[in-house]
Amino acid sequence: MTTRRPDDARTVTTSGSNDYATFRRALRRASPQLARPLPWIAHPDPWAVLVSEFMLQQTQTSRVVEPWHRFLAAFPTPNACADAPLSAVLRLWSGLGYHRRAKALHEAARRVRDAHDGEVPREVRDLRSLPGVGEYTANAVASFAFARPVAVLDTNVGRVLARALVNRTLRPAEARALAQELVPRRDSASFNQAMLDLGARYCKSSPLCADCPVAMACRWRLEGGVDPAPRSAGVSRPQSTFEGSDRQVRGRVLAALRESALTSAQLRSCLDGVETGRYGSILAGLVDDGLVERRGRVVRLVGD
Ligand code: SF4
């Protein structure tokens, strides 16, 4: 089936794998222009890829580069991380926030050491069994570290699918199915990386269609209509505001304890502007999460 816009001489198919082949070719041609110079891209070490994927969960790419180098310099292998106390991992997590990920990565390293002879597993099923590894992270590691032909679907890629491939809003299950249908069997890692790059650099919430290198293969660009991928394209939930949040206060508590163990009174004095009841519940939450422990009057990072 074809449609022709009155104001546009270009004709496009509206369904079927032909669209996908056209889009794949356009994306392949554009990939050198799309590529971002990120140190974990095409990195040969699966552990380095796994660490990058943990850090990239809920954190901007630009904020991950420096901690990623620092972390791998300290823990170049899963076993090096697994053998270290959690407090050492938390110190290296400085600047990244969402510290439960640091604990999960530490536990994942221990699982890799104990159940996989210190080698990051290759299969999605085994990757999914690691603490802190969900569908996205497992697929990303399987694709980027082991060239498995599985889709890597995040919010950015969800926007590309909705706009460029189908020009309609997708439910999460539809986006997953379409992403998997689209990924080629050969060179899937390069394809997945190019999709992520396209979503991050051009197909943003406010898309840069005039400069987009795959615009000639994009259905929304060609057919028009309302944006089919408003907000997060249904793939993820937007993050809450950081300023003044409990997340911010948790970060301040952990930053103080990275310097040294403190008495509860000393720790409290580091938290100007946080009322006592809120401080107590945030500290209790950090203890429940296994990041902080109290021994008598002293509060410290777990493992110190
Ligand atoms: S032309 Fe616009 S909507 Fe289409 S893929 Fe490029 S940035 Fe996204």
Is the pLDDT score of 24 beyond 90? yes
pLDDT-derived band at 277 (thresholds 50, 70, 90) equals: confident
71 and 94 Cβ atoms separated by less than 8 Å: no
First to last CA, the chain: 66
C-alpha 213 – ligand 1 centre gap (Å): 8
74 and 92 Cβ atoms separated by less than 8 Å: yes
- 8-state DSSP, 279: H
Predicted TM-score (pTM) of the model is 0.86
Give 166-175 pLDDT, tens digit per residue. Answer: 999 999 999 9
The strand ranges marked E within the chain are 2-4, 11-13, 262-263, 292-295, 298-301
- The binding-site residues of ligand 1, defined as CB within 6 angstroms of any ligand atom, are 160, 163-164, 202-203, 207-209, 212, 214-215, 218, 220-221
- SS3 state of residue 123: coil
- Mutational pocket test of ligand 1: of 218, 219, 222, 223, the residue with most ligand atoms within 8 Å of the beta carbon: 218
Ligand 1 atom closest to the Cα of residue 208 is 7
- 16 phi-psi bin (left φ>0, alpha ψ -120 to 50, beta other): left
d(CA 104, CA 98) in angstroms, rounded, equals 11
Q: Which helix (H) or strand (E) holds 91?
A: helix 86-92
- Mutational pocket test of ligand 1: of 203, 205, 219, 222, the residue with most ligand atoms within 8 Å of the beta carbon: 203
Is the pLDDT score of 261 beyond 60? yes
**pLDDT score at 3:** 35
What's the helix, strand, coil split of the chain in %, to 5?
Answer: 55, 5, 40
104 and 57 Cβ atoms separated by less than 8 Å: no
* Residues tagged active-site: 53
Give 60-97 pLDDT, tens digit per residue. Answer: 899 999 999 999 999 999 999 999 999 999 999 988 98
Residue nearest to atom 8 of ligand 1 (CA): 203
Give 184-232 pLDDT, tens digit per residue. Answer: 998 999 999 999 999 999 999 999 999 999 999 999 999 999 999 986 5
Ligand 1 atom closest to the Cα of residue 209 is 2
Set out the domains of the chain in order of their start, with CATH numbers: 17-239 (1.10.340.30), 246-301 (1.10.10.10)
Residue nearest to atom 7 of ligand 1 (CA): 203
